[in-house]
Chains A and B, each alone.
Chain A
Amino acid sequence: MSILVNKNSKILVQGFTGTEGTFHATQMIEYGTNVVGGVTPGKGGSVHLDKPVFNTVADCVKTTGADVSIIFVPPAFAADAIMEAADAGIKLVVCITEGIPVQDMVKVKNYLLGKNTRLIGPNCPGVITAGECKVGIMPGFVFIPGRIGIVSKSGTLTYEAADQVAKAGLGISTAVGIGGDPIIGTPTKDAVELLMNDPETDAIVMIGEIGGGMEAEAARWIKETGNKKPVVGFIAGQTAPPGRRMGHAGAIVGGAEDTAEAKMKIMTECGIHVVKSPADIGKKMAEVIKK
């Protein structure tokens, strides 16, 4: 049954009637995702893409029984949207929005403590359980159903990895784009842990970037728990100069321990199959699986 989302998930879209929300909700519905409705404050009572629109997340949950929310709200209002979803009891909130101020996320992180809500993102491509449910902006056709899980900070690199896995004759169980911001809801380790405990996932691709300590934390956890499933790892930014922000707000080398080199070393020591070239992810996975 994979992780986080499946064919029984009921999805609501926050920022449903906006350009981004409309476009991606349409794509999600075409993929077969069960979108039950959307929220745009002030447009409650109307119908959009043949689905009901509500003023509040709570109204939408009450009427449709939605348990997953995807957020396409502009950066200035995104933190508020996440907290509204959590307050309405949504179990999984996927925030696509890029460019949320860091101090807003400091508040969100604190707000979510003790709540039964998992946040994925922000600034992420979303979550997809191949062949069942797409809650995100990824090109669905790249994700061929199979038994490899993906955890990645980056969007297009997730698609690249999924494509290479498919070309190697394998497929994807669930792919989680955790996001490239300094503060995110679900760090690498938590996403890896979910896949380690998923009976429908045999191996994991873990893709990180320079900046922060999440990959090292995940690697140590994998080792401590006995390397239950093989993990292929890649860290982007081996050639990035220190002190320069490389696109993602979180992708900046601050100290000696968040360089690509340091992370790759720790991951290798923890038994992860680290590839130096992004072109080798699929090939390496095929090798590892055969063993």
Chain B
Amino acid sequence: MNLHEYQAKELLKKYNVPVQEGFACGTVHEAEEAYRQIKTQYASNFAVVKAQIHAGGRGKGTVKETGINGVKVGKNLDDVIEIAKKLLGGTLVTIQTGPAGKVVNKILVAQDMYYDGVSDRKEFYLSILLDRSTGQNVIMYSTEGGMNIEDVAHDTPDKIFKEWVHPSGGLQGFQARKIAFNLGLSGEAFKNCTKFVTNLYNAYVGLDCSMLEINPLFKAADNKIVAVDCKMNLDDNALMRHADLASLRDTTEEDPTEVEAGKYNLNFVKLDGNVGCMVNGAGLAMATMDMIKLSGGEPANFLDVGGTANAQTVEAGFKIILKDPAVKAILINIFGGIVRCDRVAQGVIDAYKNLGNIKIPIIVRLQGTNAVEAKKLIDESGLKVQSAILLSEAADLVKKAVA
């Protein structure tokens, strides 16, 4: 589950991780109020206004309707109001959103961290994630902050450091110090950095994050170390033990069809093709998508109906796939093990009849327990459904349907 920057920062504060402070606003009026607060609290005329969407590259992205960038510095109240007006309700297109962009429902009006002081300002990069190859958490960091880390990894791999954390011992003091040294810090900033890293790791574990990225990790001119931006990804499997976190989910950021599929316990991912598919099992679902492509079509979705393919789930699956006008054919591929194929076939027939007028070809491939009986049921149903038992037969039928 992805969180917004403002949500992630609130959570970090609970773990005593210093962040760039600010207020999440849904209206221009709220933004005005937020600016006033920031001005008094931090004695600065400047405030940073940041669009809150689930995608990176906001600073360089632009709002379609108004042409404004997703992150802007407001120099006074009028400026902030102007920026808020241009951001709220607009569609922000960034390198990560795709051409459709995402609607900005909230903005974060935040303190300006780029004030002058006793030392130079610096931007670093730091993230914590799972290293699958070792089965350990790893802290990845770099002196090159504020930019795309993939580019840094590609151009200057020697500027990326990694620190693995022992699963039972946790992050040790010497490791936090090593990170601060490698970032070139000393004195007050060094001490602040070790505290920051230690607390951030506690937040990562305590919140069951699957990824926590601070970019930039900022050293202010008064030697404070703060998270200016934060990308937090929570482990969906762990939400059962974080009831408070589950409520932070923003479904307006997700594909509405995917949200609806979730209500039926269907695992659905929308794609841009012309052949819909409904499959039991994630691996077989991906394999079926690959087969559609090899047969000359393009998969319109990933849909795993799980271990219980019955009339209800099949009908819900049909409805969700048929919402997409680009779909020219549907392939149902079920390998019946514990699930009996004749029951799934009956489910398909019932769902088909309930939905009435399906205009596109439906190909049903049922293999496994009672596959022959299932094929017979489909063939004798009088419906315009083509049936197959072998995967290669289903591939041929898809080829014909998209030809």
Contact = CB atoms under 8 A, between A and B. Distances in A.
Nearest to A183: B135
A106 B135 contact: yes
Contact of B137 (A106, A138, A251, A278): A106
A160 B335 contact: yes
Contact of A182 (B132, B271, B282): B132
Contacts of A142: 337, 368
Given A106-B130, A107-B168, A182-B132, A159 B286 contact: no
Q: Which of B288, B289, B290, B291 has the most CB of A within 10 A?
A: B290
Contact of B287 (A76, A102, A157, A241): A157
Given A103-B235, A159-B335, A159-B368, A109 B284 contact: no
A101 interface: yes
A54 interface: no
A244 B368 CA distance: 30
Interface size on B, as a range, is 35 or more
Contact of B290 (A164, A207, A239): A239
A42 interface: no
B43 interface: no
Majority DSSP secondary structure for residues of B touching A: mixed
A180 B237 contact: no
A137 B338 contact: yes
Q: Which of B208, B283, B335, B336 has the most CB of A within 10 A?
A: B283
A277 to B, nearest CB: 5
Given A75-B237, A278-B391, A250 B132 contact: yes
B238 interface: yes
Contact of A102 (B238, B292, B394): B238
B105 interface: no
B20 to A, nearest CB: 26
B210 A102 contact: yes
27 contacts: A27-B338, A75-B237, A76-B241, A100-B237, A101-B237, A105-B135, A109-B167, A139-B338, A157-B281, A157-B283, A157-B287, A160-B391, A180-B282, A182-B130, A236-B283, A236-B287, A236-B290, A237-B286, A237-B290, A238-B293, A239-B292, A244-B269, A245-B269, A247-B285, A251-B282, A276-B294, A278-B284
* 4 closest Cβ pairs, A-B complex: A154-B283, A247-B282, A156-B281, A139-B337
